[in-house]
Amino acid sequence: MFEVEPVEKKRSGGRPAAVDKTFRAFDPHQVLLLPPSLNDWLPEGHLARFVADLVDEVLDLSPVLADYTDKRGYPPYDPRLMLRLLIYGCTIGVRSSRAIERKCTDDVAFRFLAADQAPDFRSISRFRRRHLDALATLFTQSLHLATKLGMVKMGRVALDGTKLQANASKHKAMSYGRLVDKEERIEADTAALEAKAQALLADAQATDEAEDQMFGTDGKDTDLPAELDRREKRLAKLQAARAQIEAEAAAKARRRAQDKERRRQERGGTSDEQAVTDAGDKAAAKAHPKPKAQANFTDPDSRIMKNSDGAYIQAYNAQAVVDEKHQVTTAADVTTNPSDALNYTTMLDQSAANTGRHPKQALVDAGYCSEANLNAARDRQLVCDTDTFMATGRLAHDEQVPPAPRGRIPANATLKERMARKLRTRPGKAAYSRRKAIVEPVFGQIMTCQSGRRLLLRSEDGARGEWRLLAACHNLREIFRHAGTAGLATVVG
């Protein structure tokens, strides 16, 4: 498009040329004779073209469009435009609404996608919030697309979790004990303040009236009500945080009591749901939060968790199931519980629901190893024909891998011993050794290329939506890499 033509050597302007050198033609003030077509600005096979085709031709946008029912009102931006921007941005690591807005003037690819429009960052942000659920369905859509292109085999999958830093600082977290303390202090102070305000009011009313008449009404004693107002707001926040911790403690106690009652009934061979509910209610009413239980003021749903480096961060626990063949994610979810162990069954079920198939093998690390999960793994083998390889413990740095077992499995071996044994056999080792190679690249890509280390949206729903969008965009990246725009054509055609 741009011809390289040597320019006549010229000593122009006041700047002396250091060397006698011919440069390529460059005229910043050149006026284009025709308005440029945005289409020409982007090379064939660019990721942005892929995203544009995807949004325009392939994706089902009805979940988004369904939200626009009223014909009235200021016309919103075309959802296709917004989706193009959000998807492309999320794929290359430009995720914040303001960053996207800037790119719409800065970046050729974004200008191409937005047809040279630049929505305000609030519009982008609000669109994202509003259609968070719909955006999350992009995840299943991306998965179905990958499946159509033969990229999902469900032979071997790996399940793993990573901690996503919430949009909240752990310094804004407060323990239950301090919360109660603070609340009491503020209440006491407020009572004192109110008394003072009353006294002042009564005392000064006469003089005030006189002064007002003399100087007009802009007294200085507005400070006191303002102070009271601030305290009121703080108190409300504290109480909300406290209520949250208490509700959680109650819910936990309820679950425990119900489980206990069920087990008791199982042993006795009876079944009485009412008794289970009652036991739960009773326990919930009696529940008392631990003084150390934490709540965060900025994002109450997030929790302090330990990340893989051992550092404590305010976070969500993000889970993903990844198919070995092309590193396509088949399930993605977020929980507020730092433990991975609770997600073994739910995640594999999600994966099965999303793909319609059960994997031949599932690889999980020691974080998932629990009595319940070992049992669940055994059942899965029977019901879904999924062979689970679950690490039963981590090796210390200098620890040697125990030798492969030989001979018959002892009849009295526990499930855990059997699992440990299975992982030490040659096929067990071979399968499990693939685990890291399957999930790590996915998490790595999402963290670095898509800047997914830190979440932008608050609340559990926000975190889940973001994680699913990240996972969806990861899948789209893989599709782009594997099939390119041509691949889309085969799906549409």
Partner DNA sequence: TGACGACGCCACTTTATTCT
Partner DNA sequence: AGAATAAAGTGGCGTCGTCA
By CB under 7 A, residue 79 contacts DNA: no
The residue within the footprint of DNA, chosen from 61, 376, 415, 456 (CB under 7 A), is: 456
Report the residue number, 128 or 326, with the smaller CB distance to DNA. Answer: 128
Q: Which of 144, 190, 248, 297 binds DNA (CB under 7 A)?
A: 297
Instruction: Identify which of residues 233 and 436 has a Cβ nearer to DNA in the complex.
Output: 233
Strands 312-323 and 329-335, by their bridges, are antiparallel
**Amino acid identity at 260:** K
Instruction: Give 465's Cβ-side CA count (13 Å radius).
Output: 19
Tokens of 316: 């969500």
Q: Examine residue 175 and tell whether it contacts DNA (CB under 7 A).
A: no
Binding segment toward DNA, per CB under 7 A, in 47-55, 113-121, 275-283, 331-339: 113-121
Query: How many CA atoms, within 13 angstroms, populate the side-chain half-sphere of residue 71?
Result: 0
Q: What is the spatial distance between Cα 367 and Cα 347, in angstroms, rounded to a whole number? A: 14
Give the H or E element holding residue 387.
Answer: strand 387-390
- Whichever of 298 and 307 has its CB closer to DNA, that residue is 298
Q: How far is it, in rounded angstroms, from Cα 165 to Cα 148?
A: 34
Minimum CB–partner distance for residue 73 and DNA (Å): 3
Q: Which is nearer to DNA, 142 or 165 (CB)?
A: 165
Residue in the structure block whose two tokens are 């703080």: 234
- Which listed residue (10, 11, 21, 72) binds DNA by CB under 7 A? 72
Q: How many CA atoms lie within 13 A of 183 on its CB side?
A: 16
Which residue, 81 or 363, is less far from DNA as judged by CB? 81
* Contact between 24 and 94 (Cβ < 8 Å): no
Smallest gap from Cβ 122 to DNA, in A, equals: 5
CB of 165 to DNA, least distance (A): 6
Residue 13 identity: G
Residues in CB range of 122: below 8 A, 6 or more apart: 97
Smallest gap from Cβ 171 to DNA, in A, equals 6
Binds DNA (CB under 7 A): choice among 38, 63, 108, 129: 129
Among 63, 93, 148, 169, binds DNA (CB under 7 A): 169
Count CB-CB contacts under 10 A for residue 221.
11
Rounded CA-CA distance 305/307 in Å is 6
Sign of the dihedral defined by the CA atoms of residues 447, 453, 457, 459, in that order: positive
Assess 116 for contact with DNA (CB under 7 A). no
The CA angle 188-190-195, to the nearest 5 degrees, is 100
Task: Give buried/exposed letters for 456-474 (b at 16+ CB in 10 A, else e).
Answer: bbbbbebbbbbbbbbbbbb
Q: Which residue in 5, 20, 70, 398 binds DNA (CB under 7 A)?
A: 70
Stretch that binds DNA, among 154-162, 209-217, 457-465, 477-485 (CB under 7 A): 457-465
Rule CB under 7 A: choose which of 91, 167, 351, 445 binds DNA.
167
Shortest gap between Cβ of 50 and DNA (angstroms)?
A: 24
* Binding residues with DNA: total (CB under 7 A): 37
**Selected binder of DNA within 9, 24, 172, 255 (CB under 7 A):** 172
Position 68, amino acid: Y
Is residue 454 a contact point for DNA (CB under 7 A)?
Answer: yes
Q: Do 96 and 102 meet the contact criterion of CB atoms below 8 Å apart?
A: no
Residue 234 interacting with DNA (CB under 7 A): no
Contacts with DNA by CB under 7 A lie at 68-77, 95-99, 119-123, 125-127, 129, 165, 167-169, 171-172, 297-298, 454, 456-458, 462
